[in-house]
């Protein structure tokens, strides 16, 4: 069973057997907070986005 992935507090799914997951970033997002949890392990990544001109 893969790891559970949340983006900005919303669960988007679980990773595949090779540990990957895909999702679409909302156009108006200025920051992403990604949390990954599997059993007793967890990790967090915060990314600040800039809008293309």
Domains of the chain, residue spans: 4-48
Q: Quick check: 12 and 21 in contact, CB under 8 A?
A: yes
Task: Give residue 50's pLDDT.
Answer: 84
Task: Give residue 52's pLDDT.
Answer: 66
d(CA 51, CA 31): 11
Q: Is the pLDDT of residue 32 over 80?
A: yes
- Residue that wins the pLDDT comparison between 52 and 37: 37
Q: What mean pLDDT comes out for the span 9-16?
A: 96
Task: Give residue 28's pLDDT.
Answer: 85
Strands (E), 1-53: 4-7, 10-14, 31-38, 41-48
d(CA 42, CA 35): 7
Cα 40 from chain centre: 18
Task: Give residue 53's pLDDT.
Answer: 65
């Amino acid at each position: 069973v893969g790891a559970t992935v949340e983006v900005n507090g919303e669960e988007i799914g679980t990773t595949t057997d090779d540990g990957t997951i895909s999702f679409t970033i909302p156009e108006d997002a200025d920051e992403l907070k990604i949390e990954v949890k599997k059993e007793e392990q967890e990790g967090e990544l915060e990314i600040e986005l800039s809008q293309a001109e």
